[in-house]
Chain A
Amino acid sequence: MNRRSFIRFSALTVVAAIAAYFLLKFDRVVRRMITVDTDGLKLNGEAIDRFMADAKKEFFWDRFSFSKKMFICVQHFLSSLGIKVAYHHKYVQNRSVITGQFLLSTDFFLNKMDTSQPVTYIGFFNQYKTGCSNPFSSIRFTA
């Protein structure tokens, strides 16, 4: 192995290690995001565990590509240090999708976002199985 090949191999190894680190961390990052975002709600202790288990069963994270997972982890890490870099808003949007999917899997929106009531996990949100379940529609709110 010549010097150039060695440097290239080393760089790839470092990138792969960082990628593996963040990917292994993706589950933890998701849990952390949901925990922070739902702080102040009366959340049943098992809710996040059940959500994470169902998300795996439903292959929900297949909707997040490898690069998107990396992006979320890196942005989350920087954000937790108070650093906002380019495309931070895309991280915020993805975070909203994740926290949204969690909350939609509870009775929080059914209870009209009433923070005084306990929040119970009711099942992984799936519009194909439960039609008419948009909690912000005219069925539940008058504009």
Chain B
Amino acid sequence: MHYNLILAGTGFASSFFLKKYLEKSSKDIRVLVLERGEFIPHQQRLQDARSKPLGKVSYVSGGNGGNTFKNNTPEKSWIFDPSFGGSSNCWTGCTPRFMPNDFEMKSKYNVGEDWPVTYQDIESYYCDVEDIMSTSGPDITPYPMSKKYPQPAHELSTVDKVLQRAYGDQYISQPTARSSISNKRNKCCTSAICHLCPVEAKFTIENGLKSVVYSDPRVEIIYQAQVIQVDTKNNIATGVLYRHANQDKKATADVIALGANAIFNAHILLNSGDTNVHTGRNLSEQVGYYGYFDLKDFQNVGGSSIITANGFMLYDGAFRSERAACIIESHNDVFIRHEAGKWRNIAKFKFVFEDIPQADNRVERSADPLIPVVTYKAHSDYVVKGYDYLKNNIGKIFGSLPIENIYLDDKYQPSEAHILGTARMSNDAATGVVDKDLRHHQYRNLLVLGGSAFPTITPSNPTITLAALSLRAADKLI
């Protein structure tokens, strides 16, 4: 069977790409979607969690991504959900945009790489993604917006209000795909288990795009079909080899789009004989540390979502030529302080640092064509310098709060649940794998979607940006 498009994966990157692709295509096209996992409805996931003892409920209910690849450095974990909808099932729904300078790190700060697209190039696509996800956020943001967020901002907590008074538009209610009003989804009520929202307040591919995109009669979807490689001839992608029901099968198409995560996109390219020196390299993500603040005679209450605010006061500036920037998350889950009478006199922040990708952190092939090998040696000194600055100045930065004690973790989190790099965007094949339209430099009818295309790792959460890049890629393709 020959198709106009074969798409690997059903996560954010694939689903946003397919939405735009279908909108711009004629009625007689045919699309094959190959999803490696199953469709596990949200209600089934929730039922499963409710039927188990609390201690047995796992973070990723769609399966354990850890069994799908060999991790040479298990102290560094990579979290994803290999089932329909991908990581939209387990994400927290944080949707701050990148800052304009994130796309120009080399030009502005002489570190990392410039992206081949600018903030302005994708600004309208950001707006489209925010509409589709029906995101909530404030009217004033540190980055320019041509359109307001579709939903009003979530309520700040008492702690956030103090910090917003101190920092103005550098400290805002977190932009998020967790609804602040009952609209397309239910209103978020701060259940604080966003990986499996019990009230369906969070955007997922299932509740946001499944009925629009995957029910389209032009689309055929095969579950439990893992793409192994792209077949190529004379620098043209001709089709894919995939495994389904323990059998290897082939399908051909005019255009192939890989929308797996950065581990598997790279692995498929390597299996396909891609010899670009950057393919599989620069596997990265942000580096996060928690900080706990005991507050004197001050209760931290009143926020309306799990992460109530983002602080941008350490995000952008000339310092980025020396040390990593960070975005601050104000957390609002059900933590307490154990001391009587001071139960909620505590704040919890997460400090999420950008990183400069390191070529030695990489994805490689194993003897098994279905199983990639992942090696992550370390994050860069750039992060270490950013963390040291925070550690030395944290009291001053949060000086407007009535602080008794600050405990900043000295150990970073094993994962930020983002998988980035490995097929970076660039202007040419010498410096990257795909171009600004996410088309492979060598195989021009092969697109590599998602976070694998990120040439630098920003502090902000990547989802809304990779979704915007997917919309743009489909828009430019047709």
Contact = CB atoms under 8 A, between A and B. Distances in A.
A136 B303 CA distance: 8
Interface stretch (B273-281, B333-341, B388-396): B333-341
B184 interface: no
A128 B50 contact: yes
A100 B335 contact: yes
B206 interface: no
Interface string A101-143: 0011000010001010000000011111101111111111111
B199 interface: yes
A8 interface: no
Interface residues of B, number: 45
Given A60-B55, A104-B334, A128 B304 contact: no
A59 B54 contact: yes
A124 B54 contact: yes
B193 A33 contact: no
A57 interface: yes
Contact of B190 (A93, A95, A115, A139): A139
B338 A37 contact: yes
Contacts of A61: 55
Contact of A137 (B197, B302, B407): B302
A17 interface: no
Contact of A89 (B299, B335, B407): B407
B192 A134 contact: yes
Contacts of A138: 155, 190, 302-304
B46 A128 contact: yes
- Chain A residues touching B, range: 35 or more
A128 B54 contact: yes
B362 interface: no
Interface string A52-73: 0000011111110000000000
Interface string A22-53: 00000000000100011111000000000000
Instruction: Describe B's contact surface by its main secondary structure.
Output: loop
Contacts of A136: 157, 300-303, 332, 334, 344
Interface string A89-103: 100110111111001
B31 interface: no
B212 interface: no
A30 B340 CA distance: 16
B118 interface: no
Given A132-B199, A134-B192, A138-B303, A103 B336 contact: yes
A58 B340 contact: no
A127 B192 contact: yes
Contact of A96 (B53, B161, B338, B341): B338
A109 to B, nearest CB: 8
Contact of A131 (B53, B199, B336, B343): B199
A133 B191 contact: yes
B298 to A, nearest CB: 12
Interface of B: 46, 49-50, 53-57, 155-158, 160-161, 189-193, 196-199, 292, 299-304, 332-341, 343-344, 346, 405, 407
User: A-B pairs with the 10 shortest C-beta distances?
Assistant: A143-B302, A59-B55, A131-B198, A132-B189, A137-B190, A141-B301, A138-B304, A100-B336, A62-B55, A89-B407
Given A60-B54, A133-B191, 10 more contacts: A59-B53, A62-B55, A103-B336, A128-B46, A129-B50, A134-B192, A138-B190, A139-B304, A141-B158, A143-B301
18 contacts: A40-B340, A59-B56, A92-B338, A92-B407, A93-B292, A95-B338, A96-B346, A99-B336, A100-B336, A103-B343, A113-B344, A127-B191, A128-B50, A133-B191, A135-B334, A140-B301, A141-B299, A141-B301
